[in-house]
Amino acid sequence: MHPPISLIFFFLTAGTSIGSFILMYFLELLSLLGRGGGLPDEVIYKLVVFQIVLIGLGAFGASFHLGHKLRAWKAVKRFRTSWLSREAVFSALYGFGLILYLLAKVLGLGPVLEHLFGVSTFILGILSGFSTAMIYASNRFVLEWSTSITVIYYLLMYLMLGSSLMAYASHLYKLPYLGTFLFLTFLFVALGLGFRIAFNVRQFYIKRPTLNEALNLPHNRPIRVLDTGSTTDNFCTTEFYYKKGKEMLSTVLPVAYFLTFVVPLFLVVYSWLTGVVNYWTLGITFLSLLFGSALERWCFFVEGNHVQNLFYGLYPEEGYRLRKGYMERKETRISLY
């Protein structure tokens, strides 16, 4: 699949915003239960403003993916059936919830309204991330994406970005949670690495549909592509298949792994073992995760193979081989009645 830069940008901004708010407000919930001192109001103000800016930039960037931007409001009409619609609604409500939470804190409206808006925004952020992940996981035409691994890994990436940003903020504002966020960064990045490896390994075991199955023909009649039906590139051959990306994937994917997982894990372990924690180690950890995640999302799109590519000769080779045990007994009959 062709990687849309606008959606990658939305992932980075929304993911950082939602991930950091989830962890920030979780500290506030623990404080409400008497399990910590929470965060200073000044720090919360700055973090929430930053999170509002990020989700706003993400929504603006994602709008470039729309063919008719003035019709974006129609997305809410498909809320009951479309994960894309749910993503748009929950993301917008999440941004609005951030504003209400910030106003409740600044205006001193009391702990009831403050935590009402906080809990609502916390839940909306999770629902927004889950809906975004389900857009890909529910797509049965791209078998690489159609797995629960996609959802779990997607949410873990939000937490990876959020925990690394909160670790940097803890050091910047001399908060007593630096060790906690360093541990969470290590935990989420390690889990993310495991699920990303599982995502890649799974691709070798996908049972891909064949041309015979696509045409509903038995496997005793081998079908092969003789003519793709187009002498030039068209929408289907450019948007559903990215030739240049496929050629670059073997180079970009290792770099994405290195920046997203190896560098952050090394820096976090180095900080633990040596006690050297400064703006450079924490800043590079976050930036490495940010740029690595951008490359990883690029790879995620390029790795996707839409089944329509069977008819253009652009699908993985397994789709062009006969497979035993499927429709072997099906008989093809031609009758005038």
Q: What is the pLDDT of residues 75-106, one digit of tens each?
A: 777 888 889 899 989 999 999 999 999 999 99
Q: What tens digit of pLDDT does each residue of 204-259 get?
A: 888 888 888 887 777 777 777 877 767 778 888 888 888 899 999 999 999 999 99
Strand, helix or coil for residue 142: strand
- Where are the domains positioned within the chain? 1-138, 193-330
pLDDT at 330: 54
pLDDT at 209: 85
pLDDT at 320: 82
Is the separation of the CB atoms in 170 and 178 below 8 Å?
Answer: yes
Supply the DSSP string of 208-254, one letter for each residue.
---HHHHTT--TTS----S--S-SS--HHHHHS--HHHHHHHHHHHH
pTM of the model: 0.90
Residue 168 has pLDDT above 80, yes or no: yes
**How far apart are the C-alpha atoms of 255 and 5, rounded to whole Å?**
18
Residue 35 has pLDDT above 90, yes or no: no
Residue 286 has pLDDT above 90, yes or no: yes
Is the separation of the CB atoms in 281 and 264 below 8 Å?
Answer: no
Q: Which of 157-161, 191-195, 319-323 has the lowest mean pLDDT?
A: 319-323
pLDDT at 313: 84
Output Rg (C-alpha) for the chain, integer angstroms. Answer: 23
State the pLDDT confidence band at 328, using cuts at 50, 70 and 90.
Answer: low
Return the amino acid letter for 230: S
pLDDT at 255: 96
pLDDT at 211: 84
User: Which candidate, 203, 145, 184, places its Cα nearest to that of 264?
Assistant: 184
Helix-, strand-, coil-residue percentages of the chain, each rounded to 5: 70, 0, 30
For the chain, the farthest-separated pair of C-alpha atoms sits apart, in whole angstroms, at: 83
* DSSP conformational letter for 72: G
Q: What tens digit of pLDDT does each residue of 169-219 get?
A: 999 998 888 989 999 999 999 999 999 999 999 998 888 888 888 877 777
Higher pLDDT, 276 or 187: 187
Higher pLDDT, 325 or 33: 33
The tokens of 38 are what?
A: 């929470």
* DSSP conformational letter for 68: S
Supply the DSSP string of 305-337, one letter for each residue.
-BGGGGGGT-S-GGGGS--TTSSTT--------
pLDDT at 100: 95
